[in-house]
Amino acid sequence: MKTEMEKTPLIANLVSVQTTTRCTLRCKKCSCSFPLFNPPVDSDVRLIKRSIGRLFNVFSYIHEIRIAGAEAFLYPHVIEVIEETAKHRKKFGYINIVTNATYVPKSEILQSMANLNCPVLVRIDNYGELSGKLTELRAVLGEHKIDYEVRNNCEHNYFCGGWIDFGTEYEDKHYSASELKKLFFNCRNRTECKTVWDGVLYACGFIAAGHKLLKCPVAARDCVDLLNTDNEAAIQKVKDFDKYPLLGCAYCNGFDPVNSPRIPAAEQM
């Protein structure tokens, strides 16, 4: 029988499932510092599949479930991850995959996405000259009748007004308690950046990457070990994620949609 906590539905706008840190670009200000993973790391596909099952036990509904990289299309088992996610189609709105248009997915990946019985959206970040496969990518997605949208990150037409520098050097900023609260409660990622990585659901992808790089501490209350926590405890922890600043926020510049300074997108190392 479900407990009172489990009966209250837990709904998320967006949850990312991390697959690989491989990428074709090396952006200086990559929000998850993926270029610093050297060599790149592929997560264990069995762990990812078990995590997806647990995720849909804990959440009653997720509007957007993102199969995330760096470049998720480079993950060798991306088809398995997509198809595993699709099995839970009544519990999410759509599957999203983000790509930088430097790469055209293999035909078997496109075919797999085309055959899904659930909505899937490829979000293409257009970085101008860097995104050399944009035209080809649009063409093959069109041929396979796979929905896509293009976000312009080019000069004069920045999506979201430009990139944010989250602070990828992960230095402790020594904020006062009130500064930290302000940073956190004004941060767009407070509710929009939950990330599952190697079986652990992190409240924010920035701290997940920092934790993996051993550059940023993560408090026990800021993450949930999905495979070793019962539903009631997991639901309670996730409900508390957005109530207090995360320990790792001290290492971050935050993402205030209005006031955070914007920087040029995708400057390469």
Examine residue 187 and tell whether it contacts ligand SF4 (CB under 6 A): yes
Please identify which residue in 74, 86, 122, 266 interacts with ligand SF4, judged by CB under 6 A.
266
Stretch that binds ligand SF4, among 49-57, 153-161, 180-188, 230-238 (CB under 6 A): 180-188
Q: Which of 12, 15, 17, 23: binder of ligand SF4 (CB under 6 A)?
A: 23
Q: Whole-angstrom Cα distance, residue 212 to residue 209? A: 5
Q: Does 204 bind ligand SF4 (CB under 6 A)?
A: yes
**Residue tagged 């997605």 (tokens):** 141
Phi, psi of 149 (to 5 degrees): -140, 150
| Residue 25 binds ligand SF4, judged by CB under 6 A | yes
Per-position x/- string for 125-164, each x denoting binding to ligand SF4 as judged by CB under 6 A, each - no binding: ----------------------------------------
Asked if 30 interacts with ligand SF4 (CB under 6 A), we say: yes
- Binding positions for ligand SF4, 83-102, rule CB under 6 A: 100
Nearer to ligand SF4, 102 or 229 (CB): 102
Cα(200)–Cα(223) distance, rounded to whole angstroms? 7
Q: How far is the CB of 198 from ligand SF4 (least distance, A)?
A: 18
- The window from 11-19, 79-87, 223-231, 244-252 that contacts ligand SF4 (CB under 6 A) reads 244-252
User: Which one of 27, 65, 67, 72 is in contact with ligand SF4 (CB under 6 A)?
Assistant: 27
Contact residues toward ligand SF4 (CB under 6 A) are 23, 25-27, 30, 34-35, 69-70, 100, 166, 183-184, 187, 189-190, 193, 204, 206-207, 246, 248-249, 252, 254-255, 266
